[in-house]
Structure 1
Amino acid sequence: MACNSKEMDVSLICFFWFVIFIVDHGLCVSDCNTSTCGSYGPAVRFPFRIKGRQPLHCGYPQSEFHLSCSEKNDTVLELTTSWKLFIQKIDYKSQVIYANDPEGCLPRRLLNINVSVSPFFLKGDFAYENTLFNCSSKEGYRPIPCLSSSQYQVYAVDSDSTIDYHWLSCTKIHDISPVPYHSLYSEETILGLSWYNPKCKHCEVKGNYCRLKSNDTRSETQCYGMLKPHKGATTKFIETGVSLGSILLVVAAILLYGRCRFNKMERQYQSKIEKFLDDYKSFKPTRYSYDDIKRMTNQFKDELGQGAYGTVFRGKLSDEILVAVKVLNSSKGNGEEFINEVGTIGKIHHVNVVRLIGFCADGFRRALVYEYLPNDSLQKFISSADTKNRFLGWKRLEDIALCIAKGIEYLHQGCDQRILHFDIKPHNILLDHDFNPKISDFGLAKFCAKDQSAVSMTTARGTIGYIAPEVFSRNFGNVSYKSDVYSFGMLVLEMVGGRKIVDVAEENDQQIYFPEWIYNLLEEGEDLRFEIEEEGDTKIAKKLATVGLWCIQWNPADRPSMKVAVHMLEGEGENIPIPPNPFSSSVPTKTKKRTPGKRLLQELEVISEAE
């Protein structure tokens, strides 16, 4: 796992000079490196900065020096008059911006420009204050082309000159600030804007860079970068280096070893992912670049949520098509989660499985692009029994449970290989605009043959509360597709349990496992006391509870397949027998048939792993 000696030597030299820079300059400016909006955009550095890409301290404090990037990667300068210009070039030595007016009529824009409130002034000689007149044709005078039309002509007259009687028939339009003569009459759309402050010419001419002095409230600038260190700075470094040398060498060795190890592992993971993507070229999802992902999400502006492996943002493929973009954390996992998602969802086409539109594997940066589902996850609608405006109704809950069951059945039987999800839970069930459920998040999924009765696993995977007992310990049976059936059963019981309305205030010292309470009522033939709104709701609630209890049997062999679960949910529910008691193998819990309380995770005996 060690780096070769050449790589170590180069890294050590780089680190050494980095320490010199820190000591000599007192701060790190690596986050203020030159940036661009696109491949061919002008280089942006102090006194300018690109909003969203460079920190505030990288630019001059005045707002006009804070540039932005358009959707087409144009570099945009917005003046205080809300005049947006597309920058073509920035001449830092002359302190001039060359910008393009997208509307193509500079005189119209110059009507509203106020030089006194802008840090920029128009580049050019012979700048005069002018008055604009609307007249019929005036012989001997040149009209302003883009302000004139076939019905009238617009002329500019020096405000200091005497207006004779020939102008009495004209209508005065506007007094404008001093602007260069050619700016009014030229049909060119390129405008030159100069700035006085901050003064950086002396730095740029010498081949150095410019920045604000640290801790200077007067916004004064200083040069850095290419200047040779003066004698005092060198002496200061030597004195500091003698006292810190031994510490720095130890730190350098630790950092270099860690970095070397990390880089090698990252290269291995990246090679693994690239090999997978080469084999994946025939599949449907589109491969996007990281720039595409940033443009799609408007620079990651609208965050939808965060998970263990990454952050999800709202994005747009076009004005009509919304997407959800999951940007994976580079510090989490080793690429398995990414490969699982793309390799699994990319092969699936089912109405109840979320659609993968595309992915990004740009270096070490990875992202997944899904269809956007506006109603969030099922968890949002079953997490609180008291939020009545979020209750979907028993008929819709029944439809959702049935569609989820069909989706899982497709994963188990509808593909060339059986796909085991291993993380079925409400958070991973997303709802579209019509509340149709779609299974998502295949980061823990595994493939196996349809005739394979057991799946080998080195560690448990899933979410506590939904993980089948055999995933924890093989003493409960082999891990198989029946493990997904257990998770589905817990999900259905949670859907049912979210609507319990029995007042437990007087029995709040009793902690009852809710599924066991349900089983006791069913076994005694009593009605389930849930929030009932329409005729038939009682039958639906009882059917969902019965199916859920069948699915969470401790012995995997006693659980139905998802195909059987679908048949039970499609039926009336009256002929479904009461399942065996799924809690007989557990440590006894406090039980009271008529009063459900808080769900209590059952305690299991510590059982050694048996492979």
Structure 2
Amino acid sequence: MLFNFLCWLLIVVELVHGGVYLENCMETRCKPHGPTIRFPFRIKGRQPNHCGYEGFDISCTNDKQTVLEIMPSSANKFFVKKINYASQEIEIYYQIGCPPQQVFDLISLSSSPFKFVEGGRNYTIFSCPSSKERDEYLRSSGPYCGAKLRPCNHGSNPVGNQMFAIRGDDCLIDSFPLVSCTKVHDYYTSSSVPDMSLGSRHNVLKLQWSKPSCQHCEVLGKICISKSEQFTSNPTETTECIDVAKGRSSRAILKILGTFSPSVVLIVTGAVIYYIYSSKRTENENQLRIERFLDDYRALKPSRYSYADIKKITNQFEDKLGQGAYGTVYKGKLSSELFVAVKILNNSNEKGADFINEVGTMGLIHHVNVVRLVGFCADGFVRALIYEFLPNGSLQNFLSSADCKNSFLGWDTLQDIALGVAKGIEYLHQGCDQQILHFDIKPHNVLLEQDFTPKVSDFGLAKLCSKDQSAISVTTARGTMGYIAPEVFSRNFGNVSYKSDVYSFGTLLLEMVGGRKNFKVMEDSTSQVYFPEWIYNLLEEGNDLRIHIEDEGYVKIARKLAIVGLWCIQWHPVDRPSMKVVIQMLEREGDNLTMPPNPFASTSN
């Protein structure tokens, strides 16, 4: 009883700790539909210091507008449009006609916790009389050269003059008509300023902060508070997470303490009962918070680009990497160090089902063996997908017989590629919230990094389903001939499920062993034996694979890949292993693997 009492007392202390914090630092707004204000932001003069973080002061104007106090002494105010606590970004805007001096000063303000989300551009600001020549120059040079600012008739800019921001990296200043122009120094300065802060239409700035970080609390659905102010002497641990349940329960306990102070036992007992009563409701609320965070996070990536952006990224589609049935792929560049592959989709699918399917699916995937979707374009009738660029192209480019030494990767590399692809597919089947069935596993859709790390790509035919779903409905055959599982064509073999991807992977493994030329032997001559069946017969009889292998150790690798491939292409899905078992088989020594049943027995009689 004494032990239980002490446990209950500790619960009360924890709840009161959270309650004291929440009593003064409740989530609030300046107006009913304004941005939500909570840690690390605090309303200056209304909430205690521990409710926020240094440099994150917010004030509410008389007309209930939300203002970020970046520079409180300035007459120019930065109004808050939106705060995204999941991505730690804040959108602010100014209401005057042209960018205030503080926009430029933000760049060099080292003490500010905020940084621009978008990279800066080097601009020089000029004050010039009205001129058709200058207006024509900006129209002809394009939007990336510079912009005419909104009317700015204060500071050193004379009345009637126009102000121009000219980019030094994309447009030579010497080519800009500077007759009767003066370079402005005292009110504007040459600074690295995001594009969004210039021009005639945009006055919204997007800033982000990295410290303090509360993203882990957002994921857990908990409340983030300043740990340095809450019973700790460790300055490196700046934040901690407290349960929503603790805060709500503790406020009730504070009232109970004031009313029923003579009976501590009853107080503790009531607190525990209340805690248990509200735990179920709190669990649902936490789940809702997690879902909201995931929605916000997924909205950040991949990025959306316009068709004009696509043309610039690909340098007017200069470097064509390849062309297929679904579109053409070009090499592009997002920055000096980040290269991408841009796939311009054909318009054959008018409803855009494949496009929607791929973008929606790729937003759920983060794995070393799955290609990363960087962005997309849906501009009018133009649809494009932007992927990370993999310099070695697809596995299909390297598939050949082991006898062809010019393009043969080597058995160690092939084994690593097979294991990597298997891990990528297993992640799709079990690693996400929903099971992802690819339906188009083939060498063309396995891309290779510089070090030949494989990545599964092309999710245009993928389907999502719950992990406990044993069968899915497929109205038409999906995939590429030669890699499609039998049950996709006929339900007599079984239900369509994740085992359909296992079959395609097995076909890929056998093609890696035998090479493309040997694998298509049945297509070239119907009188010859189907290559997988030929492989099975050789292994069953204890013969070698009749592929030129110089080192005895490589014989075991080739044999292991062939045996795993034969397990995967069993006619009935129930006879095939899961991808988790496939990975275990690939990680074992080839001598320890048993031969599967003969999948060709019915066809050979």
Aligned to 1:288: 305
Aligned amino acid, residue 432 of structure 1: E
SS state at 2:329 partner: strand
- The Cα shift of 1:487 comes to 0.1
In structure 2, the CA distance between the partners of 1:309 and 1:186, relative to structure 1 (3 Å rule), is closer
Q: CA–CA distance in 2 between the matches of 1:509 and 1:441?
A: 32
Deviates more, 1:528-537 or 1:408-417: 528-537
Compute the RMSD of aligned alpha carbons. Answer: 3.4
Q: What is the TM-score normalised by the length of structure 1?
A: 0.51
Q: CA–CA distance in 2 between the matches of 1:333 and 1:494?
A: 34
Any residues of structure 2 matched to 1:238-257 within 5 Å, and which?
none
- The Cα shift of 1:291 comes to 1.3
Q: In the alignment, does 2:419 pair up with 1:402?
A: yes
In structure 2, the CA distance between the partners of 1:509 and 1:584, relative to structure 1 (3 Å rule), is closer
Q: CA–CA distance in 1 between the matches of 2:492 and 2:577?
A: 20
Deviations, residues 519-542 of structure 1 (Å, cap 9, x unaligned): 001111112221213331000000
Aligned to 2:532: 515
Partners of 1:325 and 1:367 within 8 A in 2: yes
Deviations, residues 249-281 of structure 1 (Å, cap 9, x unaligned): xxxxxxxxxxxxxxxxxxxxxxxxxxxxx9996
Q: CA–CA distance in 1 between the matches of 2:347 and 2:564?
A: 40
Q: How many residues are treated as equivalent by the alignment?
A: 336
Aligned amino acid, residue 172 of structure 2: P
Q: In the alignment, does 2:378 pair up with 1:361?
A: yes
SS state at 2:591 partner: coil
Q: In the alignment, does 2:462 pair up with 1:441?
A: no
Q: CA–CA distance in 1 between the matches of 2:550 and 2:407?
A: 14
Deviations, residues 479-527 of structure 1 (Å, cap 9, x unaligned): 000000000000000000118999x9xx988411010001001111112
SS state at 1:579 partner: coil
Aligned to 1:422: 439
Q: In the alignment, does 2:467 pair up with 1:450?
A: yes
Q: CA–CA distance in 2 between the matches of 1:305 and 1:289?
A: 22
Q: Tell me which of 169, 172, 185 is aligned to 1:102.
A: 172
Partners of 1:385 and 1:500 within 8 A in 2: no
Q: CA–CA distance in 1 between the matches of 2:456 and 2:444?
A: 10
Partners of 2:440 and 2:483 within 8 A in 1: yes
Partners of 1:500 and 1:531 within 8 A in 2: no
Partners of 1:290 and 1:360 within 8 A in 2: yes
Any residues of structure 2 matched to 1:560-571 within 5 Å, and which?
560-571=577-588
Q: CA–CA distance in 2 between the matches of 1:559 and 1:300?
A: 44
Q: CA–CA distance in 2 between the matches of 1:509 and 1:422?
A: 27
Q: CA–CA distance in 1 between the matches of 2:317 and 2:299?
A: 29
SS state at 2:377 partner: strand
Aligned to 1:316: 333
Aligned amino acid, residue 597 of structure 2: P
Aligned amino acid, residue 538 of structure 1: V
Q: In the alignment, does 2:484 pair up with 1:467?
A: yes
Partners of 1:330 and 1:364 within 8 A in 2: yes
Aligned to 1:389: 406
Q: CA–CA distance in 1 between the matches of 2:179 and 2:356?
A: 58
Q: CA–CA distance in 1 between the matches of 2:350 and 2:577?
A: 34
Structure of greater Rg: 1
Q: Tell me which of 312, 331, 346 is aligned to 2:348.
A: 331
In structure 2, the CA distance between the partners of 1:501 and 1:560, relative to structure 1 (3 Å rule), is closer
- The Cα shift of 1:409 comes to 0.4
In structure 2, the CA distance between the partners of 1:422 and 1:333, relative to structure 1 (3 Å rule), is farther
Q: In the alignment, does 2:165 pair up with 1:72?
A: no
Partners of 2:402 and 2:549 within 8 A in 1: no
Deviations, residues 377-414 of structure 1 (Å, cap 9, x unaligned): 00000046564221110011011001100100000010
Partners of 2:401 and 2:518 within 8 A in 1: no
Q: CA–CA distance in 1 between the matches of 2:174 and 2:440?
A: 57
- The Cα shift of 1:71 comes to 9.4
Q: CA–CA distance in 1 between the matches of 2:467 and 2:602?
A: 29
Partners of 2:505 and 2:565 within 8 A in 1: yes
In structure 2, the CA distance between the partners of 1:101 and 1:402, relative to structure 1 (3 Å rule), is closer
Aligned amino acid, residue 389 of structure 1: N
SS state at 1:360 partner: strand
In structure 2, the CA distance between the partners of 1:331 and 1:105, relative to structure 1 (3 Å rule), is closer
Partners of 2:298 and 2:363 within 8 A in 1: no
SS state at 2:535 partner: helix
SS state at 1:389 partner: coil
Aligned to 2:369: 352
Q: In the alignment, does 2:410 pair up with 1:340?
A: no
Partners of 1:41 and 1:74 within 8 A in 2: no
- The Cα shift of 1:284 comes to 2.2
Aligned amino acid, residue 590 of structure 2: G
Deviations, residues 61-102 of structure 1 (Å, cap 9, x unaligned): xxxxxxxx6893589xxxxxxxxxxxxxxxxxxxxxxxx993
Aligned to 1:371: 388
Which consecutive residues of structure 1, in runs of 5 or more, have no partner in the other structure? 1-38, 45-68, 76-99, 107-182, 190-277, 590-611
Q: In the alignment, does 2:590 pair up with 1:577?
A: no
Partners of 1:501 and 1:529 within 8 A in 2: no
State percent identity of aligned pairs. Answer: 69
Any residues of structure 2 matched to 1:188-337 within 5 Å, and which?
282-337=299-354
- The Cα shift of 1:104 comes to 3.0
In structure 2, the CA distance between the partners of 1:41 and 1:577, relative to structure 1 (3 Å rule), is farther
In structure 2, the CA distance between the partners of 1:320 and 1:581, relative to structure 1 (3 Å rule), is same
In structure 2, the CA distance between the partners of 1:105 and 1:554, relative to structure 1 (3 Å rule), is closer
Deviations, residues 548-571 of structure 1 (Å, cap 9, x unaligned): 000000011000000000000000
- The Cα shift of 1:295 comes to 0.9
Deviates more, 1:381-390 or 1:347-356: 381-390
Q: CA–CA distance in 2 between the matches of 1:283 and 1:409?
A: 26
Q: CA–CA distance in 1 between the matches of 2:171 and 2:526?
A: 73
Any residues of structure 2 matched to 1:42-81 within 5 Å, and which?
72=144
Partners of 1:298 and 1:315 within 8 A in 2: yes
In structure 2, the CA distance between the partners of 1:40 and 1:471, relative to structure 1 (3 Å rule), is farther
Q: CA–CA distance in 2 between the matches of 1:461 and 1:545?
A: 25
Deviations, residues 387-446 of structure 1 (Å, cap 9, x unaligned): 422111001101100110010000001011100000000000000100000000000000
Partners of 1:501 and 1:531 within 8 A in 2: no
Deviations, residues 312-338 of structure 1 (Å, cap 9, x unaligned): 110000111100011112233521111
In structure 2, the CA distance between the partners of 1:563 and 1:283, relative to structure 1 (3 Å rule), is farther
SS state at 2:459 partner: coil
In structure 2, the CA distance between the partners of 1:512 and 1:279, relative to structure 1 (3 Å rule), is farther
Q: CA–CA distance in 1 between the matches of 2:494 and 2:362?
A: 28
In structure 2, the CA distance between the partners of 1:103 and 1:470, relative to structure 1 (3 Å rule), is same
Q: CA–CA distance in 1 between the matches of 2:296 and 2:439?
A: 25
Partners of 2:436 and 2:465 within 8 A in 1: yes
Q: CA–CA distance in 1 between the matches of 2:175 and 2:504?
A: 65
Q: CA–CA distance in 2 between the matches of 1:281 and 1:499?
A: 39
Which consecutive residues of structure 2, in runs of 5 or more, have no partner in the other structure? 1-134, 148-169, 183-294
Aligned to 1:123: none
- The Cα shift of 1:346 comes to 1.5
Aligned amino acid, residue 362 of structure 1: D
Q: CA–CA distance in 1 between the matches of 2:334 and 2:389?
A: 11
SS state at 1:327 partner: strand
Partners of 1:430 and 1:437 within 8 A in 2: yes
Q: CA–CA distance in 2 between the matches of 1:374 and 1:389?
A: 18
